[in-house]
Structure 1
Amino acid sequence: MSLTAGCCSVEVPISAPTASHAEALTTEFKALADTARLRLFLQIAQADGEVCVCNLDDVGLSQPTVSHHLGKLRNAGLVSSERRGTWVHYSVTARGERIRDLVLALS
């Protein structure tokens, strides 16, 4: 598909995302549409390596609420988790890294 501007005959290529790609983007952006989740995501995404859930307590939320939000980020594919004994450690996924770069570019 291409678009021809009314004032000239220059064609600008336009490609719409596939339905599955658009759905994935919607899921990711919905996950980041919550202020607490965005803050948690950026804490994890900007860390050098993994972040223990025990270090994600400065967002002003209870531990169960933090865990709920981290689950949403995990389900959206933005972070991954690994349980080690009592604690869960989170890291940003490859997709999360690209989204992080986009968010930081918009900041």
Structure 2
Amino acid sequence: MFQWILVILGAALLLYAGLVALLALFQERLLYFPTRGMVDTPASAGLAYETVHFSAADGAPLTGWFVPAPNSRRVLLFFHGNGGNISYRVQSIAQF
């Protein structure tokens, strides 16, 4: 009887260790899921915009949109968040 308990505990421990290993291995894919394809642009919301390109400090290429607001003296820097890309947030941009 005691031997079966050890076998069950050992199997549960191996299953748990395997699950933890898989989570550690795929953590970036589980937390960060960018999308490269564009589904919308500010033009579809009636906004004038300009595509801008620049580089991060590590040299990674970055692309964004400059959407000027008429008669505004302020700037809003909009970060789209984790999933998707900025084209999924056009309606949020149009609010400002």
TM range (shorter): under 0.3
TM value normalised by structure 2: 0.22
TM value normalised by structure 1: 0.21
| Higher-helix-fraction structure | 1
